[in-house]
Amino acid sequence: MIEGALWRRWVFFYIPMALFLIFLLFPFYWMIITSVRPDGELYRPWNSINYNPFWTWKPTWDHFKYLFEETLFSAWLWNTMFIALVSTAISLVCGVFAGYALSRLNFPFAGSLGTGVFITYLVPQTLLFIPLAEMIRNYRLGDTPWSLILTYPTFLIPFCTWLMMGYFKAVPKELEECARIDGASRWQAMLYIIIPVAIPGILSAGIFAFTLSWNEFIYALVFLSSPEQKTVPVGVTSELIRGDVFFWGPLMAGALLGSIPVAIAYSFFVEHYVAGLTGSVKG
Amino acid sequence: MGQVVLKDINKFYDAVHAVIDVNLQIRDKEFVVFVGPSGCGKTTTLRMIAGLEAISSGDISIDGTVVNNLAPMDRDIAMVFQNYALYPHMSVYDNMAFGLKMRKFARPEIKKRVNEAADILGIGDLLKRKPRQLSGGQRQRVALGRAIVRHPRVFLFDEPLSNLDAKLRVQMRVELKKLHLRLGTTAVYVTHDQVEAMTLGDRVVVMKDGLVQQVGEPLDLYNQPANKFVAGFIGSPAMNFSTVTMADGNGRLTAKNSGFELEVPAAHGDRLRGHVGREVTIGIRPEDLHVATDADPVGLTFPSKVEVVEQLGSEILLDVRAGTDMMVAAVDPTVRAKVDEQLRLAVNPARIHFFDAKTEAAI
């Protein structure tokens, strides 16, 4: 908080904060307002007499209805959810074990292995999808959810591993040593002591991984072709933009509904998530 | 039983020789304290006894069994860590019960032992709390409780009091001593605080740079330090050292430097005769100095100039200059000394220490 006179607080705190918030939230506002605006208003030219881009007096659910009745949106939602959840689960399990091993077990080349894992994360997806597409085709996984469930971990596991490595390093090693003196095997010490203590870190890794796979675009675009297999980001953009015709209303409705699960995931875990980022382990 | 024997223990960290040839027999029911400055290898030694650190060479045995390759859990020891290492997600009860659960004790037995330990430590009403809801002293007690419920053969303490404030530290020190007398379990305790070492230990092991400097009962270390390091480390305020030259004047040995000339007591005479004409280090504890009176033989007094007066209440510490050396004298609280005052100090002849200037070993 800025100390001192009132004008100081306004100039240095409230006004910059308000500007920042407007800048940040305006796209969401635009998305919401567009999704409930009737078509007649949406395609009105900017110089017409009753042009009013920021508000509507005749909100409508038509776009949402169109989305669910005329498109396969509910199938896309289900696909995205299924793919995101399963790939997150796989990546979390691998990431937690790998992170633990890399940060706690002293084995030769642990450091360079950790760096290697990080480097795989740096390979851009726009390059990686080419060899992956080849593999997906060879294993005849194209156009199935498994094509994504098995490829998303290529970037999710390095991500989770690195996040968990950092988190495990912050957990005092005495906790584990104490457990081992108390009679726990390494496995039990990890299961009963280290993992429960690392729950905030695991939750944040999970939320990040879920968000990444929920929003993923390029693999979904390349590996899925039939409309009923698509995920929300690909489905909405490929089915609601036909040629150069943009179905703005349903597009925005789809984008809005697509961002809700992520928003819920964030706000639901926000407490743990913040704790995870600050690494607050109390000894 | 709880007899621990360390035989020729060495520890290397790559090129660093952290612990060098440690030999020690810890008797059953004994309270042994390892003390030394940080990095002296005392914690490493403790961790090797615990099995948390592999030994590079040598043998550690507990009750006659070599435990070099036993896992920590199989050594029947309990350890209290500096940062307590309480499991943050478990209640106090579960923290204390964890070791017993892991060892598959029956539930009623666990309950009985935890309650017993909680009673001894006075934490019976905290059992449902989580560690973060406890104060430092309470956490310390829980950490102790977690160790004693197991009824291990040996307790290992790694600077358990260093995270507490000064007052609580004194209080817990007394409680630890009482606890040891009550339970009679062998204890190995690591600290960098010589007061803790002196008050708690049946025997104290002084370490420096990985080497054991001296092992002995607290008063033996204080009265007969084996070398200059032990002499300076044990006792507070620290012993005064100055370099002197031994001279032989008509059969009477004197220790002389620019600030003073002291007669060497006859008891030391024979041992020091070989050092005539050479430099040695003389050590005098602050409490063995007093303001000279007519009763003191002149040969055991020297002039000094007071530079700082520290009034502690029970005694007064005078920081004085004698020649080129700074010395501290702990004098009677009735002494009224002023800064810049010239003062004659007298030495208790029986309590002068001599050290070889090169090897630093006691002469």
DSSP string, B13-64: ETTEEEEEEEEEEEPTT-EEEEE-STTSSHHHHHHHHHTSS--SEEEEEETT
Same domain for B122 and B70: yes
Residues in chain B: 363
Nearest residue to A235 via CA among A266, A202, A267, A258: A258
The residue to which tokens 């041992």 are assigned = B271
Mean local confidence (pLDDT), A249-257: 91
Nearest residue to B317 via CA among B337, B303, B344: B337
Cα–Cα distance between A264 and B340 in angstroms, integer? 76
- pLDDT tens for residues B283-296? 999 999 999 988 88
State phi, psi for B17 to the nearest 5 degrees: -95, 90
The residue to which tokens 């635009």 are assigned = A30
Contacts of A177 in chain B (CB under 8 A): 50, 52, 72, 79, 81, 85
Q: Has residue A105 been placed in a domain?
A: yes
Do the Cβ atoms of A178 and B131 come within 8 Å? no
Q: Has residue B78 been placed in a domain?
A: yes
Which pair of tokens denotes residue B171? Answer: 């209080």
Type of residue at A143: D
Name which of B78, B83, B86 is nearest A181 (Cβ-Cβ): B78
Whether the CB of B70 is below 8 Å from some CB of chain A: the reply is no
A216 pLDDT more than 60? yes
State phi, psi for B209 to the nearest 5 degrees: 50, 40
Quote the minimal CA–CA distance from B132 to chain A in Å.
7
Q: Name the B residues in 117-136 with CB < 8 Å from any A CB.
A: 131-132
**Residue A217 burial (CB count, 10 A):** 12
Among chain A residues, CA nearest to B85:
A175
**What is the extent of the structural domain holding B256?**
240-356
Mean local confidence (pLDDT), B33-45: 92
- pLDDT tens for residues A90-132? 999 999 999 999 998 888 888 899 899 888 888 888 888 999 9
Same domain for B244 and B225: no
What CATH number did the domain enclosing B317 receive?
A: 2.40.50.140
Report the pLDDT value the prediction gives residue A276, as an integer from 0 to 100: 52
Q: B282 near B242, Cβ under 8 Å?
A: yes
**What is the extent of the structural domain holding A273?**
63-278
Do the Cβ atoms of B85 and A180 come within 8 Å? no
Do the Cβ atoms of A283 and B73 come within 8 Å? no
DSSP-derived letter for residue A206 is H
- pLDDT tens for residues B63-100? 999 999 999 999 999 999 998 899 988 999 999 999 99
Same domain for B225 and B285: no
Taking chain B, what is the end-to-end CA distance rounded to the nearest angstrom? 39
- The set of residues, in sequence order, having a beta carbon less than 8 Å from that of B151 and lying 6+ positions away, is B113, B185
Do the Cβ atoms of B88 and A281 come within 8 Å? yes
What are the Cα distances from residue B187, in Å, to B27, B42, B202?
10, 14, 10
Report the pLDDT value the prediction gives residue A2, as an integer from 0 to 100: 60
B261 pLDDT more than 50? yes
B140 pLDDT more than 50? yes
Q: Has residue A171 been placed in a domain?
A: yes
What CATH number did the domain enclosing B220 receive?
A: 3.40.50.300
Same domain for A120 and A25: no
* ipTM higher than the 0.90 cut: no
- In this prediction, residue B143 has a pLDDT band, given cuts at 50, 70 and 90, of very high
Report the pLDDT value the prediction gives residue B337, as an integer from 0 to 100: 86
- Residue A179 Cα to chain centre, angstroms: 35
- pLDDT tens for residues A123-166? 888 888 999 999 999 999 989 999 999 999 999 999 999 999 98
B255 pLDDT more than 50? yes
Cα–Cα distance between B327 and B130 in angstroms, integer? 50
Do the Cβ atoms of A174 and B81 come within 8 Å? yes
Type of residue at A166: G
**The most confident of A48-52, A264-268, B135-139, by mean pLDDT:** B135-139
Mean local confidence (pLDDT), B301-330: 91
Q: Provide, rounded to the nearest whole percent, the portion of chain A with pLDDT above 70.
A: 94
Nearest residue to A166 via CA among A277, A282, A9: A277
Number of domains in chain B: 2
A–B: how many Cβ contacts below 8 A? 67
- In this prediction, residue A273 has a pLDDT band, given cuts at 50, 70 and 90, of low
Q: A196 near B104, Cβ under 8 Å?
A: no
Q: Has residue B170 been placed in a domain?
A: yes
